[in-house]
Amino acid sequence: MAHRYAELEILISAGSRGYEVEARRRMPTGDVITPRVALALAPANPAFRDADPEVCGRALAATLFAPAEVRDAFVAAQTAAQEAAVDLRLRLRVGVDATELHVLPWETLYDPAGQAALCVSQRCFFSRYLFSREMRLPRLRPRSGVSALVAVANPPGLADDLAAIDAKAEAQRIGAALAPIPVATLAELGQATMERIFAALREGVEVFYLVCHGAMIDDEPMLWLERADGSRDLVAGRMLVNRIGMLERPPSLVVLCSCQSAGTGPARGGDMMKALGPLLAQAGVPAVLAMQGNVGMDSMGTFMPLFFAELREHGEVDRAAGVARAAIASQPDWWMPAVFTRLESARIFYPPGFGGGAVPESGDDPWRAVIDNIRHGETTPILGPGVGEPLFGSRLQMAQTWAETFHFPMAAHERDELPQVAQYLSASQQPVTPRRLFYRFLYQQLCEQYREAIPPGLLGLPEEDIVAQLGDVIAAVAGVRLAVPDDPHRVLAELRLPIYITTDPSDLLVHALRARDPEVRPFVRLCRWNAAAEACDDALTVDHRDARPSARTPIVFKMFGDLREPRSLVLTEDQYFDYLISVSKNLDAIIPLQIRARLNDSALLIIGFDVQSWDFRVLFRTILNQEGADLRSEYLHMSAQLDPNSILDPVSARRYLERYFQDKARMKLYWGDVAMFVAELQRRLRP
């Protein structure tokens, strides 16, 4: 379940005359940002390093909330939370020019009146946002794809003042708290070695929980791990950080239950930015929970199981830490767990659904309208490239492969955009090159994944034969792929609708409709955007140009070309522009009347697009440019395509996109990928 918040972000940076501060309130209508003002903050203030967290917290509050702008912003956010009966999310951003401020125990912060510690006495969830030198976007998984690794090191021969860790019991507690999330454990003596830990991390896990003893030695964080023979192994924290940063896919969350893993605490000083928690966040780990002092084992025995049980439910690291911190509020080390994140929402996985997983209010579940429209036959599915990715690979993968092979020279972010890369190839090679590469890429993907299903005569085709015989290869593979119960094409074919629209130039959807019922006779039509597409459409419809679409004779309308005619494909930037110009000039002749009528007078179910892709933007403009918007407003339309991994700030982006699509086309956005949507659709369609 996703939660609603009143959100406040406080940014401290170094100015020409000292520190400066500003506050940003996140509002449904946009952000409210205060002016940047001076902050009289002295990091060496003895009160900030007092052993009593109450002294620290009040001193920090007196300093941080001294500027009226910051104090008023906090009070406004707190009041908004109370009036809406929601929680307050408080995020501290310390600029890269003021990293020395991370040594301060911000988790002890009191309210402006100095009456109560925010993190334990009120519903306030606190985290520290860290800027990262790692530019990769955090890759979030759906909740169903999350797994965890628990490593517990308890080698013999440590100092007498270091309490022994019951490794097996700790691993069992955390495994039980995370269930049903799959958990791999390294808890037997001799298992918590660097080699075994990283062998497990390379397999790909979302949560990495490391329990061991640690300390700051010569201002460097050190960890007591194990060797294969069970003996102790003192490992430099920077080695752990560097190796995690080099992983192709680092964990989404690293939890360090190690004394001084976030620093040495206010009573003992030390450079917190040299400690493991901040270092891991800076190296690209999306979220880190670490200890900023000599935390007690008793406190962690209560804190950690509750933290992981909360995390399992919603994936929000700051909320899970806040709930667990409140449970140890009576302990003197309650403030030591610190959350570092580079995620705006502090969420390490996302729940699929409408509105980012929020539970709809009574009577406001969009699924009711979706299912009702399908059962009345008044839905038109529009299939994007994401629907065919299990067979053909992704357009992103295709673009990156071509860019690497042909040394694409433009900006790095354009290497991910197929139209830009195809345009470069068309200009630097010859216009036919992108088409030939497109066929070759699809053929290679099919041969790699479904070699056993392809007849021997269709394997190892020479380049010049791939174009002519790719359709036969797809037909052979379709029989195997469509046997999978949750294949998207199979599920959509079972809806028994009269018209399907697709951006896929293959006949995979046609095969799915025929497989569902041998008596079904689907007809293929093309968008007649150029002369080649016109000729191909004429050839395909010579006997049934005016056929009436129905569940028995559905029309499969291909928006961007057909594999039978390579010149009908829309691949390059120029071709997308030509497509839009053709559609805008002569819509009636380019898109058949049955399709135009259906686009205007049915509920659109748009599946498998990236909202930022050329495919979707051109498709969406084509729909909006049609006459008949008054009929389209009769229905609730849905777009199942919002992948949080494709955007930097999913929370803000979702807010913007939902408002945009609601205003333009009364369209609801589904948060999740094609597989999640199809699984939910199947579940909802069951009687």
Res 122: pLDDT: 61
Bridge partners (DSSP) listed for residue 408: none
Give the domain ranges of the chain: 5-129, 141-351, 355-390+487-685
In the DSSP assignment, the letter for residue 347 is: B
Res 259: pLDDT: 59
How far is the C-alpha of 545 from the C-alpha of 543, rounded, in Å? 6
Is 607 within 8 Å of 386 (Cβ atoms)?
yes
Q: Is the pLDDT of residue 268 over 50?
A: no
Pairing of strands 18-27, 30-33: antiparallel
SS3 of 117, please?
Answer: strand
What is the model's pTM?
0.68
Name the band, by pLDDT with cuts 50, 70 and 90, for residue 261.
low
Residue type, 5: Y
In the DSSP assignment, the letter for residue 258 is: S
Mean of pLDDT values over 254-274: 60
Q: Is the pLDDT of residue 204 over 50?
A: yes
Pairing of strands 667-671, 353-354: antiparallel
Q: Which of 149, 164, 157, 106 is nearest to 250 (CA)?
A: 149
Res 358: pLDDT: 41
Mean of pLDDT values over 193-216: 91
Mean of pLDDT values over 88-99: 90
Of 178-192, 270-284, 380-394, 400-414, least confident by mean pLDDT is 270-284
264-278, 285-299, 322-336, 339-353 — most confident range? 322-336
Res 347: pLDDT: 83
Q: Is the pLDDT of residue 362 over 60?
A: no
Name the band, by pLDDT with cuts 50, 70 and 90, for residue 682.
very high
Q: Is the pLDDT of residue 107 over 90?
A: yes
Mean of pLDDT values over 592-616: 85
Res 491: pLDDT: 95
All residues at 6 or more sequence positions from 172 whose CB lies less than 8 Å from its CB, including other chains: none
Is 208 within 8 Å of 261 (Cβ atoms)?
no
Mean of pLDDT values over 597-611: 86
Name the band, by pLDDT with cuts 50, 70 and 90, for residue 210.
very high
15-24, 218-227, 428-437, 615-624 — most confident range? 428-437
Mean of pLDDT values over 22-41: 86
Mean of pLDDT values over 174-179: 91
Res 628: pLDDT: 58
Res 226: pLDDT: 95
How far is the C-alpha of 77 from the C-alpha of 557, rounded, in Å? 50
DSSP 318-332: HHHHHHHHHHTTTST
Name the band, by pLDDT with cuts 50, 70 and 90, for residue 648.
very low
Q: At what angle do helices 237-245 and 194-202 cross, to 10 degrees?
A: 20
Name the band, by pLDDT with cuts 50, 70 and 90, for residue 95.
confident
Of 248-257, 473-482, 647-656, least confident by mean pLDDT is 647-656
Mean of pLDDT values over 361-383: 84
Name the band, by pLDDT with cuts 50, 70 and 90, for residue 641.
low
Res 269: pLDDT: 40
Q: Tell me what the pLDDT averaged over the chain comes to.
A: 86
Q: Which of 68, 83, 81 is nearest to 37 (CA)?
A: 68
Mean of pLDDT values over 539-562: 88
What's the pLDDT tens digit per position in 220-243? 888 899 999 999 999 998 999 999
543-560 CB burial, b ≥16 within 10 A, e <16: eeeeeebeeeebbbbbbb
How far is the C-alpha of 430 from the C-alpha of 446, rounded, in Å? 26
Q: Is the pLDDT of residue 656 over 70?
A: no
Between residues 143 and 73, the one the model is more confident about:
73
Say what percent of the chain tops pLDDT 70. 86
Res 403: pLDDT: 93
Name the CATH architecture for the domain at 141-351: 3-Layer(aba) Sandwich (3.40)
Between residues 219 and 540, the one the model is more confident about:
540
DSSP 360-420: PPTT--HHHHHHHHHHTT-EEEEE-GGGGHHHH--HHHHHHHHHHHTT--S-GGGGG-HHH
Q: Is the pLDDT of residue 344 over 90?
A: no
What's the pLDDT tens digit per position in 478-522? 989 999 888 999 999 999 999 999 999 999 999 999 998 889 999
Q: In the structure encoding, which two tokens stand for residue 585, read together?
A: 């000039």
Say what percent of the chain tops pLDDT 90. 54
Q: Is the pLDDT of residue 272 over 60?
A: no
Mean of pLDDT values over 256-278: 60
All residues at 6 or more sequence positions from 389 whose CB lies less than 8 Å from its CB, including other chains: 608, 674
Name the band, by pLDDT with cuts 50, 70 and 90, for residue 608.
confident
Mean of pLDDT values over 603-621: 82
Between residues 284 and 243, the one the model is more confident about:
243
In the DSSP assignment, the letter for residue 671 is: E
Q: Is the pLDDT of residue 428 over 80?
A: yes
Bridge partners (DSSP) listed for residue 142: 350
Mean of pLDDT values over 299-311: 92
DSSP 540-582: HTTTTTTPPP-SSS-EEEETT-BTTBGGG---SHHHHHHHHHH
Given the structure tokens 């029309």, which residue do they identify? 555
Residue 167 exposure: Cα atoms within 13 Å on the Cβ side: 21
Q: At 125, phi and psi to the nearest 5?
A: -110, 120
Mean of pLDDT values over 26-36: 80
Q: Is the pLDDT of residue 631 over 70?
A: no
Between residues 415 and 687, the one the model is more confident about:
415
